[in-house]
Structure 1
Amino acid sequence: MDVITFGETMVLFTPITPGPLRFTSSFQKTIGGAESNVAIALSRLGHRVGWTGRLGKDEFGIYIRNFIRGEGVDTSGVIFDENNPTAVFFKEMRPMQEPNILYYRNGSAASRMVPEDLNEEQIKTASFLHLTGITPALSPSCRETVMHAISLAKKNGVKVVFDPNIRLKLWNKEQASGVLNVIAAQSDIVLPGLEEGTILTGKKQPADIAACFLEKGVEAVVVKLGDKGAYYATKAAQGFVPGYTVTRIIDPIGAGDGFAAGFLSGLLRGWSLEEAVRLGNRVGAFALTTAGDVEGYPYWSQICQDRRDTEVLR
């Protein structure tokens, strides 16, 4: 297994036409969840990936499991909960603005996740454990599950990659900062966005944000800067990698998860940190070109369809 990840995946309803949801009568059904987004993107890039989570034992839960499994991701660790439902969310496509996201996830099956749901044998076979800051925000038991996953990874020599992915609809800045800084300090690689980095460190410049995490013992930090690219740093090196120009952005949701997948793909291929960041930027740019969380993620054949593309990447 190259990467193992877990968290909440929901059924996503995206309106066929833009505008206020009160005027919408037709939706496209798909899925969305930061961790499964990363898993699917990595699978398309040719890696062996596992995703696990707790889903409702309902039609939506079966749909999610089948969708993710159909993308070549190992879902053998998925647990179906007979007592709690699968969560759903809606995108409201607003002209000239980013989509408005409406979640219906309180009391979901995923929020009932407990440490016993994790399979140590599955984690120990992976090169990387990918975590986000969404899961610990769902409930105290989910928080315990994340910390248990970190302890299992460390016990088995598995690198921990942490994307803070702060969701202020789930908790406030103070709560998020307290919990996520603890997780970051136990991670090997941290991937904050610029605003997230400021919330967690109080710093505003990428280099200062990275320095704060490095002082906590993190091996490598990549600060995502949106269309401007990304700044990376270790104790020995640092640098900036510009982003890719996307002439027409359809939907920005999922770009950060695409970056994480591309970045991890680069590391798994033995590339340097700078090369991995460049691949992360490229995969993230693909995500901007279609509606939906995962629909735009490229296959490795698309990344390498022109030899010059690979030369630019590396």
Structure 2
Amino acid sequence: MTPDLLTFGEAMVSMRSAGPLATGTPLSMHLAGAESNVAIGVARLGHRAAWVGRVSTDEFGEYVLRQLRAEGVGVDGVSRDAERQTGLMFLEQRSADLTRVQYYRAGSAGSALRVDDLRAPLAAGARMLHLTGITPALSDTAREVTCWAAETADAAGIPICLDVNYRARLWSREAAREVLTPLAAHASTIIASADELDLVGDPGADEPAVAAELLRRGVETVLVKLGADGARAYTVDGVEEVGVVSVTAVDTVGAGDAFTAGYLSGWFDGLDLTGRLRRAATLGAFAVSTRGDCEGLPRRAELALLDGHEAGSVLR
């Protein structure tokens, strides 16, 4: 059955500590990866999601597949790689307000993604192809498959959502701009934080000017994430804003992916722009108020749990 969402990239294993790593604080194991986070968020809300990537044959690779299958995410197109290891990341809760991240992903199975890995899954079609700016930064082959997928999906009439998701540890802003600006020409939806917009438009222009330029180039919706101030959406019909859902934030990792999953879920459900933005804000609130990349994302029946809630609420 054709999935609603098709996405691809690197899924990693995240090892989390509640205190300084140097003191030997115990670690807990979690699934991590921007694209897999979005796929899980969409699947939990009842949509069909498929994730494609290269996964090692090591035990961490088995864990990645086990977690994705448990969430109902399709992994039939995943390739196994016996020559490379699964990428790892360590998250250290250094203080209540500061989390430090260390990556061990160079030369990983996920970074070896290539065009042949995606040919069959993309040929099978999807209602939406989701891309991020992380995957093309991983390697030459990952960059090639990202550009190929965007061109191929665009030619086939498959809408594309591009989340800029800039990672300074992976590439420079100049290198990112060289790849992401032409990539954005294939997208129907672009998602970026305010400081990422210059990577898909004129670096000397302000936010409204960059959004206007993207709309002229054929993008249908430009979503600008504003953190604690909510989000702003630009379309040919004008500008619409949404505030955040007020919650106690305990972990902001994965919040942007949750926002994207909520927005895409609303799109799959045929909601208007206001409805899509509200659902995006709701999933973002669930993400920041629970620990983990995607563990706290809601099921469809739970979407209304935060409506009118008060701090310390107990549902009996």
Q: Same fold (TM over 0.5)?
A: yes
Backbone CA RMSD of aligned residues? 1.8
Q: 1:99 to 1:212 in 2, by over 3 A?
A: farther
2:245 is aligned to 244
2:226 is aligned to 225
Q: 1:274 to 1:113 in 2, by over 3 A?
A: same
Match for residue 11 of structure 1 among 4, 10, 13: 13
CA distance in 2, matches of 1:200, 1:126: 24
2:260 is aligned to 260
1:312 is aligned to none
CA distance in 2, matches of 1:121, 1:112: 17
CA distance in 1, matches of 2:289, 2:121: 37
Q: Does 1:98 align with 2:98?
A: yes
1:234 is aligned to 235
CA distance in 2, matches of 1:69, 1:196: 32
TM-score (norm. length: structure 2): 0.92
CA distance in 2, matches of 1:213, 1:138: 25
Q: Is the 8 A contact 2:245 2:282 kept in 1?
A: yes
Letter of the structure 2 residue corresponding to residue 79 of structure 1: S
Q: Is the 8 A contact 2:122 2:153 kept in 1?
A: no
SS at match of 1:240: strand
CA distance in 2, matches of 1:306, 1:165: 27
| Aligned-pair CA distance for 1:191 | 0.4
Any gaps of 5 or more consecutive residues in structure 2?
A: 310-316
Q: 1:87 to 1:58 in 2, by over 3 A?
A: same
2:53 is aligned to 53
SS at match of 2:181: helix
Letter of the structure 2 residue corresponding to residue 9 of structure 1: A
Q: Is the 8 A contact 1:4 1:123 kept in 2?
A: no
Q: Is the 8 A contact 1:192 1:222 kept in 2?
A: yes
Q: Is the 8 A contact 1:210 1:223 kept in 2?
A: no
SS at match of 1:291: coil
Percent identity reads 39
**What do residues 57-108 of structure 1 show as CA deviations (whole Å, max 9, x unaligned)?**
1110011011011100001111110111111000011214331111000000
| Aligned-pair CA distance for 1:181 | 1.0
CA distance in 1, matches of 2:306, 2:175: 46
CA distance in 2, matches of 1:251, 1:209: 30
Any gaps of 5 or more consecutive residues in structure 1?
A: 310-314
Which range moved further: 151-160 or 63-72? 151-160
| Aligned-pair CA distance for 1:24 | 2.6
Aligned length: 306
| Aligned-pair CA distance for 1:233 | 1.1
Alignment of 1:95-174 (within 5 A): 95-122=95-122, 124-174=124-174
Q: 1:117 to 1:50 in 2, by over 3 A?
A: same
Q: Is the 8 A contact 2:54 2:112 kept in 1?
A: yes
| Aligned-pair CA distance for 1:307 | 8.4
Q: Is the 8 A contact 2:151 2:186 kept in 1?
A: no
2:314 is aligned to none
Letter of the structure 1 residue corresponding to residue 228 of structure 2: D
TM-score (norm. length: structure 1): 0.93
